[in-house]
Amino acid sequence: MQAWSFMTKQSTQPDRDTLWHHHDKHGGQGISGIMYLHIPQDVADFDTCGTEIALDGPQGEDKFFVRPSYYSWLIYPSHLWHRPGVAQSDNYRFILAADVQYT
């Protein structure tokens, strides 16, 4: 099991195309999760500031944004490609993230 936290904001976010990743290090035997602790109040589009998921990988067409829900875990298989949503504020967004391997 691993857990970590992130602080992201618009002025420090690199090109979003470089942020695609997954956490599958164990052949599909894991789950990942994100908990949104704080989204800045000046975010213009709350629907795109959470996490973007690519069901068929970064090059595929099947992508969607997860709208943040405070203090609730977004749980998904570790093999799914994802990236942070669109940074829209120079105030920090705070999240907790975790990976769990199972056998």
| Residues spanned by the domain of 48 | 2-101
- pLDDT greater than 80 at residue 103: no
**Cα separation, 39 vs 37, whole angstroms:** 7
Q: Closest Cα partner for 81 from 53, 62, 60, 100?
A: 53
How many domains are there within the chain? 1
Q: What is the per-residue pLDDT across 12-31, written as a single tens digit (0 to 9) for each?
A: 888 999 999 999 877 878 99
| 32-88 pLDDT tens trace | 999 999 999 999 999 999 999 999 999 999 999 999 998 899 999 999 999 999 999
CATH label of the domain that carries residue 62? 2.60.120.620
pLDDT, mean of residues 3-7: 90
